[in-house]
């Protein structure tokens, strides 16, 4: 799928035309997945463009590389300015997705990556709407397991890590599902290929703890905070597979996905097969926040123009 990229990208500190942003075939990241990325959304509310939780994204952006001693050779302030700047440079006045990433460059075939390895940083953006059907999707538990801290850090958003997500998605699609659900190495629910998962039981919102190899997602954190602010009990704990079937509601969260109801698991309806009340409440609350209609959360937004 070819992305409708904006005219300019940010590459190593400069705004350049997208067709000029090229790397050699000897780039280390192409061979070994030594790339770090973030997915960020910005929302246009007819008055201005607002980037959602930009500081948190940039903090995680740097931390992901630290797991592997891959250097981000720009300050957080520079990255923040580059992200808002690429939106201004392209005169974006519609909701969009922003992809910053950095990667090890021409480093031969050496696997001993150190802080001195050459790295490059790039940022591009494109208009973006709904990733999934907001009325609900189907999901299936796949045979592939989510990798754990026993093998590679789940909290690092590394390019190579997402091969696990790709193979899980392929299996789910072959089985006729919209999305996959991965279990951890102990057979407990972990997450979807690109989203965190929440279940609702008896009015309580529950999500897997990070001990189940779940990413500490920024949207995940947002929903936990919003739920508690609404006096809804929110719990982070292990979720066994059988709980999915008997849940009152299930939904996924992620920057690209936002909040998506799951209406069936493994071909079985969740409750009445429609988005539940708490899920719909979270969708509306989240929408109001990102559109700057809730002053209590305005500190989560960075104005672009």
Is the domain of 30 the same as that of 160? no
pLDDT digits 0-9 by tens, 44-94: 999 999 999 999 999 999 999 999 999 999 999 999 999 999 999 999 999
Q: What pLDDT was estimated at residue 184?
A: 98
Q: What is the CATH number of the domain that holds 120?
A: 3.30.470.10
| Paired tokens of 167 | 């193979």
C-alpha distances (whole Å) from 268 to each of 135, 139, 198, 259 are 17, 10, 17, 21
Q: Examine residue 299 and state whether it is found in any structural domain, yes or no.
A: no
| Phi, psi dihedral angles at 49 (to 5 degrees) | -100, 130
Residue 3 has pLDDT above 80, yes or no: no
DSSP type of residue 291? T
Residue 21 placed within a domain: yes
Q: In this structure, are 218 and 104 located in the same domain? A: no
Classify residue 181: in a domain, yes or no: yes
State the DSSP code for 146. Answer: P
Q: Would 132 be classed as within a structural domain?
A: no
Residues 6+ apart with CB under 8 A from 164: 144, 146, 147, 182, 193
Q: Give me the domain span that covers residue 33.
A: 8-127
| CA nearest to 131, candidates 178, 99, 189 | 178
Could you say which of 47, 94, 157, 274 is catalytic? 157
- Annotation marks residue 157 as catalytic: yes
Encode pLDDT of 211-234 as tens digits. Answer: 999 999 999 999 999 999 999 999
Q: How many CB atoms lie within 10 A of CB 1?
A: 2
If asked whether residues 157 and 191 sit together in one domain, one would say yes
Residue 161 within a domain: yes
**Tens digits of residue pLDDT in 152-199:** 999 999 999 999 999 999 999 999 999 999 999 999 999 999 999 999
Indicate if 110 and 244 belong to the same structural domain.
no
- In the chain, pLDDT over 70 holds for what percent of residues? 100
pLDDT at 2: 74
Q: Tell me which of 104, 127, 150 is where a domain ends.
A: 127
Please count the structural domains in the chain.
Answer: 2
Task: Identify the pLDDT of residue 1.
Answer: 65
Do the domain assignments include residue 305? no
């Amino acid at each position: 799928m070819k992305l409708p990229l904006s005219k300019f990208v940010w590459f190593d500190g400069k705004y350049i035309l997208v067709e000029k942003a090229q790397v050699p075939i000897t780039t280390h990241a192409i061979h070994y997945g030594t790339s770090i990325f973030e997915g960020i959304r910005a929302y246009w509310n007819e008055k201005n463009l607002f980037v959602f939780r930009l500081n948190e994204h940039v903090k995680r952006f740097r931390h992901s590389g630290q797991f592997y001693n891959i250097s981000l050779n720009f300050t957080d302030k520079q990255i923040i300015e580059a992200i808002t700047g690429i939106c201004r440079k392209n005169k974006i006045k519609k909701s969009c997705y922003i992809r910053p990433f950095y990667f090890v460059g021409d480093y031969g075939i050496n696997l001993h990556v150190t802080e001195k390895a050459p790295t490059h940083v790039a940022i591009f953006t494109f208009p973006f709407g709904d990733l999934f059907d907001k009325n609900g999707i189907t999901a299936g538990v796949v045979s592939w397991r989510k990798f754990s801290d026993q093998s590679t850090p789940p909290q690092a958003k590394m390019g190579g890590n997402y091969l696990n997500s790709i193979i899980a998605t392929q299996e789910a699609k072959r089985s006729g599902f919209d999305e996959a659900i991965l279990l951890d190495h102990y057979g407990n629910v972990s997450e979807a290929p690109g989203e965190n998962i929440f279940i609702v039981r008896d009015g309580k919102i529950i999500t897997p703890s990070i001990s189940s190899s779940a990413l500490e997602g920024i949207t995940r954190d947002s929903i936990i905070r919003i739920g508690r602010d609404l006096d809804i009990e929110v719990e982070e704990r292990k979720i066994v597979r059988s709980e999915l079937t008997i849940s009152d509601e299930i939904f996924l969260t992620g920057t690209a996905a936002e909040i998506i109801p799951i209406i069936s698991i493994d071909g079985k309806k969740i409750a009445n097969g429609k988005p539940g009340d708490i899920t719909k409440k979270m969708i509306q609350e989240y929408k109001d926040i990102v559109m700057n209609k809730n002053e209590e959360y305005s500190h989560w937004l960075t104005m672009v123009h």
